[in-house]
Structure 1
């Protein structure tokens, strides 16, 4: 793994959904008196299901239940995360000081203690030595993380570090190889979705035919097939108002629209993973002159296997995908070449 020395993992994950003999857990949340009389929930990150609930009284909520295998979960109060832990058959205490109790929580805590100690040691070095010894400290952390993952790859702890480490750099073949070596990985919904995204991405790569989708917002329905495959080049920008790289690409798209719009290029923005009100503000503030589809959410991203935005796709007159996932000068060149061929 190649992670920045100062990277801090903040994502959640879930353990394998295979069932086995269930064992009891007790989780005590020290929430503080300010949260009295509020309901706390344990939420399964993989499915977003609420697994358990408990009322906060005298600053404390106590969850009691059964678990077949450890899971990584979040604790939420009023929709806000207040803690995360590996839910195990043990007594677990969650407070501002961290998570105490459970074998996997202990292993994770040991790793993070080592990591933070290494960062502290590095920062205390004279400036003259930091650059020379950076790789040494980075390697120390990477090796410890890999060891933690390898030793726990078939449980919830190893899965987390796989999902947000090596899995990020895998393709379909690499992911299938990992699942073959560790079948429990294939039981997680996040892995299943990742694999399906790879398949969908391959099916909508350059040279493949477009896949139709429709989005309805305010009683108006947009269908991609009403625009793509109708004899003209269509540039579709999948974006969101909160996405900085998306906004930066609008300058490129504006140039292309200005130059090639009069020559027949159609541009369509498709807002995904965004609140409609935020999308509308973004369209206005960034003065986007082309058609924008509101509230598409994950409809097209799942269909096209889009795992990050912006994703900009150029469709040919017959609906063939001419260019995908290009930005800046590569995007300019792709559109220019297509429009030259159209003459």
Structure 2
């Protein structure tokens, strides 16, 4: 009888150990949000457009997420359908968040502002707040020098609006303008040194790479030495690997173009293989309605398309617009005569590791990428050579 009880206890214990109960709970209490509103949990510090990892619905002013993270991870909380939001670190613990949310709709742009945010139950988040204090200090310095130069900036902007070059030249020579320029230069030099110190102070752990990802908008080879100072542990961490891919982007030249499908303005899907069938050279062009350099290149692309389309040249334009209506409006205005598609979920921009636009890839008839990240003049020069062969 005793042995049977022991066996039962062992089985129960094993079942409990193998259960899939959540390791963390995130409970949020929000004001200013209607019941039924969806709250999105989105991975942060990825430098990619990623889909929400989970969705919760607000009931009685509260929402709840449950799950399991292998180590502390940074997330954004966003209101579905709105820009903005707040951020926090999630770890396997009971976490509580409170905030006042203000929803705004200005000229069709919906914004969710989170104020008075309080996070309890995540020691990593507390440490994050402490480590990010340098950013608060920089924000205060930025506001100070911008406020001090508000008058000369206003006058300069007015002269620009009037297209009054002589007035702009005259204002640029005033002591107020020269002082603003000196303070602006000093501010950005301070930003650079402050950033470097923050990264260096955290070079031995994943905090170093994370802070770089969190405070910097984009990366260039100039920041590679900052990465190289990190310990092997930091470089091989979750955020270290993400940062490495940003600083040392993979080249697609010489590789086969990945297989993918696209969705047109009529919500119809077509594969890239179908679009490129029978074509000698295909330009994959990533752009957006709000991207001024992209729009500036369109007339040049029209000229190239008119000259080479009959010889087997095709353009496939892929917009990364968040606003489908803005994309359609831009297409109507630009009247591009080649296939156009919307990368609504950003899967294609992630597939091609797009970090800035315009971004272009030229694919040959064998499906191999032969050029990447070039402007229209370089494209025209190469096509002229290619079609002479």
Q: Would you call these one fold, judging by a TM-score over 0.5?
A: yes
2:334 maps to: 286
1:9 corresponds to which residue? Answer: none
State the shift of 1:286 in Å: 1.2
- Shift of the 39–254 alpha-carbon distance from structure 1 to 2, 3 Å rule, reads closer
List alignment gaps of at least 5 residues for structure 2: 1-21, 45-50, 101-114, 150-175
Q: 2:40 and 2:216 mapped to 1: Cα distance?
A: 25
Correspondence for 1:267 among 300, 314, 317: 314
Inter-partner Cα distance in structure 2 for 1:331 and 1:229: 21
Query: Where in structure 2 are the equivalents of 1:167-182 lying within 5 Å?
Result: 168-170=219-221, 181-182=232-233
Q: Distance in 2 between matches of 1:289 and 1:64?
A: 47
Equivalent in 327, 339, 363 of residue 315 of structure 1 = 363
Partner of 1:114: 137
Q: Distance in 1 between matches of 2:33 and 2:376?
A: 49
CA contact (8 A) 1:42 1:52 kept: yes
Asked if 1:327 is matched to 2:371, the reply is: no
Match of 2:282 in 1: 234
**Corresponding residue for 2:75?**
73
Q: Distance in 2 between matches of 1:257 and 1:114?
A: 51
Q: Which residue of 2 aligns with 1:306?
A: 354
Match status 1:187 vs 2:238 = yes
Residues 48 and 316 (structure 1), Cα distance of their counterparts in 2 relative to 1, 3 Å cut: closer
Please give the secondary structure, in 2, of the residue aligned with 1:35: coil
Distance in 1, Cα, partners of 2:236 & 2:363: 36
Q: Distance in 2 between matches of 1:82 and 1:166?
A: 17
> In 2, Cα distance between the equivalents of 1:308 and 1:253?
19
Distance 1:42 1:185 in 2: 29
Q: Name the SS of the counterpart of 1:182 in structure 2.
A: helix
Report deviation, 1:115.
0.9
Shift of 1:301: 3.7
Alpha-carbon distance in structure 1 between the residues aligned to 2:268 and 2:143:
56
* Structure with greater Cα Rg: 2
The Cα shift of 1:327 comes to 1.1
Write the distance in 1 (CA, Å) between the matches of 2:342 and 2:98: 44
User: Aligned runs of 1:1-343 on 2, under 5 Å?
Assistant: 29=29, 31-32=30-31, 34-35=32-33, 37=35, 41=39, 43-46=41-44, 48-50=52-54, 55-57=59-61, 61=62, 69-80=71-82, 81-87=84-90, 94=99, 96-97=115-116, 103-108=126-131, 110-123=133-146, 124=148, 126-152=176-202, 154-155=205-206, 159-162=210-213, 164-165=215-216, 168-170=219-221, 181-183=232-234, 186-188=237-239, 191=242, 194=245, 198-199=249-250, 202=251, 204-205=252-253, 207-215=254-262, 222-226=270-274, 228=276, 230=278, 232-262=280-310, 264-274=311-321, 279-293=327-341, 298=346, 300-339=348-387, 341-342=388-389
Cα 1:98/1:309, change in 2 over 3 Å: same
Q: From the superposition, tell whether residues 279 and 54 of structure 1 become closer, same or farther in structure 2 (CA, over 3 Å).
A: closer
Across the aligned residues of Structure 1 and Structure 2, the Cα RMSD in angstroms comes to 4.6
Q: Larger deviation: 146-155 or 38-47? A: 38-47
Task: Count matched residues.
Answer: 309
Q: Please tell me whether the aligned partners of residues 238 and 271 of structure 1 are also in contact (alpha carbons under 8 angstroms).
A: yes
Paired with 1:66 and 1:216, the residues of 2 have a C-alpha distance of 33
Report 1 or 2 for greater relative contact order, CA contacts < 8 Å, sequence distance ≥ 6.
1
Whole-angstrom distance in 2 between the partners of 1:239 and 1:104: 38
Deviation at 1:250, TM superposition (A): 1.4
Structure 1 counterpart SS, 2:219: helix
Query: What is the CA-CA distance between 1:151 and the residue it aligns to?
Result: 3.1
In 1, are the aligned partners of 2:206 and 2:237 still within 8 Å (CA)?
no
